[in-house]
Amino acid sequence: MTRRSCAIYATGIVCAHLLIVGIALVVAQVFQTMIHSRLKKEITLTEKSQVFEGWKNPPPPVYMEYYFFNVTNPEVFLAGGKAAVKQIGPYTYREYRPRENVTFLENGTKIYALNPKTFVFVPEKSAGDPEVDIIRTVNIPFVAVMNELNSYSFFLRTVVSMYMNSLGIEVFMTRTVHEVLWGFKDPLLTKIHSMKPEVDEHFGLMWKKNGTHEGEFVFHTGEENYMDFGKIDTWNGLRKMSWWSSNQSNMINGTDGAVFHPLINRNELLYIFAADLCRSIHLAYVKDVEVKGIQAYRFAPPSDVLMSPKNNPTNAGFCVPAGDCLGTGVLKVSVCREGAPIVVSFPHFYQADPKYINAVDGLSPNKEEHETYLDLQPTTGVPIRACKRAQLNIILKRIQGFPKTKHINETIFPIMFVNETATIDDDSASQMRTMLLIVTLASNFPLLIVGMGVILLFVLVVLFCRNRQKKVGAAPCFSGLDICFFYIKLS
């Protein structure tokens, strides 16, 4: 046998084996299954120290942008007209949120942690100075007292109203942004505090929330089932809440939004428990996006999350007492936030019933600025960009015994909204791109084998063609049947 014939036979044998093995691996998805199995096994808080450290001290900077609605015509509203507001802000704070007191439980299948949050003002990302800028907004302590007295006698309400008038307390107050946000000594609450010491004499939307946590969490580590990675087992010792009117609404579902299980698909719903909203919400796939060169799936709350029970009966459990429901796009959370009749929504009543938007001049909801979304890298389940947007509102209505409210048309009045954002930092993005490249190459290794087999097949054809030409001169170098029989013979 000539050297040329040996080369042809050797090339044919290697080509045949590469194609057979490569195609078999592709069909069986052996490498992809191995990679997925590895991800399911090792991306847990107990086995992957890098993920664990990232979970304890999240590297992406988190920014809280606070926007306020300044009331421009309080007299008109109190006389029965429509309120007008003007958005001011943002006032931006860097949020630090390390996990503390981290303790593994039940042989590493669960983990206990506190998540204190600290806020530091960032002037270069802000529209003004919160300690200087003045806003006019609803006097929430005043409304809270009225709401508390609503079930008492008309005589008592009248006496209290006269007393508040003597103190010069109005439905609207004028304060600095810093006071409204971080707290001030309120004259009405100070008087109540002198009679009931358990009532705090200070008021602020974020009063006592700088440097504190939202409760004690126990999470699943994914040790037993990768789908449970990061899911909340208990919150403040509870596996379900008690303030809503149905078992489904009281469920504590999903993660806290910091991590999710690996191998996310577009068809699943992701659940997040939001302690500040006193409920769990779900997110659905929206579209594919790219963040710093990383492919991601965007998930966002669908319109049915805050839909009226008339259109989404599963939301009836969020009506407290049962049957006392608001419309689409708003949620009354005063059941878990004692005091004022607080209502939450998306900013500018995005996705809400038009009646709430039209009740106040100065609102213009749009998806780009007011949608909440989460961009997740589907292989690892790591959030690479997040944007949580929520608005705080209060119900203003007429209450007998308080003459200042006698002309008010009941309104869900916007106070402020927050835009909480986080994007993966450049170093972490570079590490993730490298890791995903390795995963991609490993998953596609069978295709590389098939590709090498195809290249060798072309080499085989060339060798066969030249060998045929040398034997028969100018005759055609091969026919289709010749190659087929030759390949079958080799195999």
pLDDT in tens, the chain (491 residues): 566 666 666 766 666 655 666 666 666 565 556 555 665 555 544 444 445 556 677 767 899 999 999 999 999 999 999 999 999 989 999 999 888 888 888 887 888 888 899 999 999 999 999 999 999 999 999 999 998 888 888 889 999 999 999 889 999 999 999 999 999 999 999 999 998 999 999 999 999 999 898 889 999 888 888 888 889 999 999 999 998 989 999 999 999 988 898 889 999 999 999 988 889 999 999 999 999 999 999 999 999 999 999 999 999 999 988 888 899 999 999 888 767 899 999 999 999 999 999 999 999 999 999 999 999 999 888 899 999 999 999 999 999 999 999 999 999 999 999 999 999 988 888 988 888 887 776 666 566 666 666 676 666 666 667 666 666 554 455 444 344 444 444 44
User: Can you give the length of the chain in residues?
Assistant: 491
Q: For position 448, what pLDDT does the model report?
A: 66
Residue 120 lies in a domain: yes
pLDDT at 41: 57
- Give a yes or no: residue 12 inside a domain: no
For residue 433, tell me if it sits in a domain.
no
**CA 200 to CA 269: how far, in whole Å?**
41
In a domain, 66, yes or no: yes
Task: State residue 101's pLDDT score.
Answer: 87
Range of the domain at 310: 60-424
What residue spans of 351-410 are helical by DSSP H? 354-358, 367-370
User: Would you give the distance in Å from CA 245 to the centre of its chain?
Assistant: 25
Distance from C-alpha of 366 to C-alpha of 360, rounded to nearest angstrom? 16
pLDDT at 31: 53
Tell me whether the omega of the peptide bond preceding residue 90 falls within 30 degrees of 0, making it cis.
Answer: yes
Closest alpha carbon to 207 in 226, 179, 233, 232: 179
429 and 293 Cβ atoms separated by less than 8 Å: yes
pLDDT value at position 356?
A: 97
Q: What is the pTM of this model?
A: 0.83
Q: What angle do CA 449, 451, 452 make, to 5 degrees?
A: 65
- The answer to the question of residue 460 being in a domain is no
1 inside domain: no
Query: Please, what sign has the CA dihedral across residues 141, 147, 152, 153?
Result: positive
Whether the CB-CB separation of 365 and 347 falls below 8 Å is answered with: yes
Residue 269 CB: number of other CB atoms within 10 A? 12
195-229 b/e (C-beta count within 10 Å ≥ 16 → b): eeeeebbbbbbbeebbeebbeebbbbbbbeebebb
How many domains is the chain built from?
Answer: 1
Is 286 among the domain residues? yes
pLDDT of 45 reads 45
Which two structure tokens, joined as six digits, stand for 285?
């796939």
Structure tokens, 383: 């959030």
Q: Looking at the domain assignment, is residue 38 inside a domain? A: no
Strand partners, 173: 137
